[in-house]
Structure 1
């Protein structure tokens, strides 16, 4: 397990389809179109990024968490279209426990259902398990977010359970969160190949 990870490094993960590089505040300009024109992207999100002010707030929260060494956010660039597509991140990084969560993932509508997400997940999971030495990668979502849950199951995530009334929603209610995960042995015993074959 690699616990000397440098949160200040310019970590870039890429293949022939996608490039993930560290999110910067200047990326407000690269993501502003989605923020202003596709606000429903964040319908299930706890932190909304609709509108410039909310997007700036969203990015600042991510960058502060990186500074606190608990998260590592990326911006996603789609090489096929030559456009920025969205964002994702490692968060709740727990090196002593060899676990982290993968989430805060969103893409503009143009990039949803194009296979881009699987390229991103392959690169992120490979890095988590094979470079960082994580034993478990966890995923969470609003239990009503059928699209997100289907995407996670399609890459080999297994459902651990439902966390009832887990956290407040942006609208002021409470949500049930579904908890899914991939274990290191599952990655090596089939999940890695399954995702690779689907790329």
Structure 2
């Protein structure tokens, strides 16, 4: 994971009509529209920005470098922003990253978009960055997210109790998952199989 910042800054990943590119101010209008598709900011278990907070959301993501690197998720056919995802809690010393801060427009949920994004990010993490492990975390009440992470083939590591504050001021438990380098070939094969079957 040497020269990680340079690698990620130049990272553009594309598959299946989906492109991941470094998130920046130029994506603000598209990200605002994606969040409005389903008024996602009203969900208490996500961190989707309200429309007026979109610019600050992007700036916060940029300010979190090098510990977080955010991507805009682009539909290549329409060239529109349909969501965002990130590498975060990046620890080069032990070759570890996590994937999170992920959300998509309501109309793109329960499609192949999430599987495609995860295949792209996991492939890059294990095969280019040389990660030993990739982690995931989610709210203990976000059962949809937990099911999606488990479908990837990630293993549940445990629960961090009273771990992080939600947008409504309550404090959540955080469910932690991971995929190890040795598990990646089977996880990759399963993700490709799911995409082939649509």
TM-score between the two structures when normalised by the length of structure 1:
0.91
Q: What is the root-mean-square deviation in Å for CA atoms of aligned residues?
A: 1.6
- Per-residue Cα deviation, 1:155-186 (whole angstroms, up to 9, x for no partner): 11111111111112211121011001111100
- Per-residue Cα deviation, 1:1-49 (whole angstroms, up to 9, x for no partner): x22223473310111321000101121111112334533355312x440
Q: 1:6 is paired with a residue of what secondary structure? A: helix
Between the aligned partners of 1:197 and 1:27, the Cα distance in structure 2 is 32
Between the aligned partners of 2:76 and 2:62, the Cα distance in structure 1 is 24
The 8 Å contact of residues 88 and 99 in structure 2, kept in 1 or not, is answered as: yes
Residue 191 of structure 2 is matched in structure 1 by 195
1:61 aligns with 2:60: yes
Q: Structure 2 regions of 5+ residues with no counterpart?
A: none
1:31-110 to 2 correspondences below 5 Å: 31-36=31-36, 38-41=38-41, 42-45=43-46, 47-52=47-52, 54-66=53-65, 69-79=66-76, 82-110=79-107
The 8 Å contact of residues 155 and 177 in structure 2, kept in 1 or not, is answered as: yes
Q: 1:125 is paired with a residue of what secondary structure? A: helix
Q: 1:43 is paired with a residue of what secondary structure? A: coil
- Per-residue Cα deviation, 1:85-137 (whole angstroms, up to 9, x for no partner): 10001011100011011000000011001111000000000000011111111
Between the aligned partners of 2:56 and 2:93, the Cα distance in structure 1 is 30
How many pairs does the alignment contain? 193
Q: 1:124 is paired with a residue of what secondary structure? A: helix
Residue 177 of structure 1 is matched in structure 2 by 174
